[in-house]
């Protein structure tokens, strides 16, 4: 079980990330794309504004990324 409060503390607004994998066949993001965390919501979605002008919510259980 994911502790969403801990996740919010670990990924505050402004945290930079690098995408490893996104579980979305229609998303144009690629491994290595970078973005900035806008927020983590109450269901654990990590809302990110990517440098490629794509804003998307990542799912910690299905998508993977590194903080940079």
User: Which structural domains are found in the chain, ordered by start?
Assistant: 4-67 (2.30.30.30)
Tell if the pTM clears 0.85, that is, is over it: yes
Question: Which two structure tokens, joined as six digits, stand for 29?
Answer: 């993001």
Helix (H) or strand (E) holding 10: helix 4-10
How far is residue 8 CA from its own chain's centroid? 12
pLDDT category of residue 2 using cuts at 50, 70 and 90: confident
pLDDT of residue 44: 87
Contact 11, 4 (CB under 8 A): no
Condensed to tens digits (0 to 9), the pLDDT of residues 20-64 reads 999 998 999 999 999 999 999 988 899 999 999 999 999 999 999
Q: Is the pLDDT of residue 1 over 90?
A: no
Beta bridge partners of 49: 36, 55
pLDDT category of residue 13 using cuts at 50, 70 and 90: very high
- Measured between alpha carbons, how far is 39 from 30 in angstroms, rounded to an integer? 21
């Amino acid at each position: 079980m994911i502790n969403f409060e801990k996740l919010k503390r670990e990924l505050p607004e402004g945290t930079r990330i690098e995408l490893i994998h996104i579980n979305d066949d229609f998303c144009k993001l690629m491994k290595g794309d970078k973005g900035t965390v806008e927020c983590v919501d109450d269901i654990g979605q990590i809302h990110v504004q990517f440098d490629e002008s794509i804003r998307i919510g990542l799912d910690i259980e299905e998508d993977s990324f590194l903080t940079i």
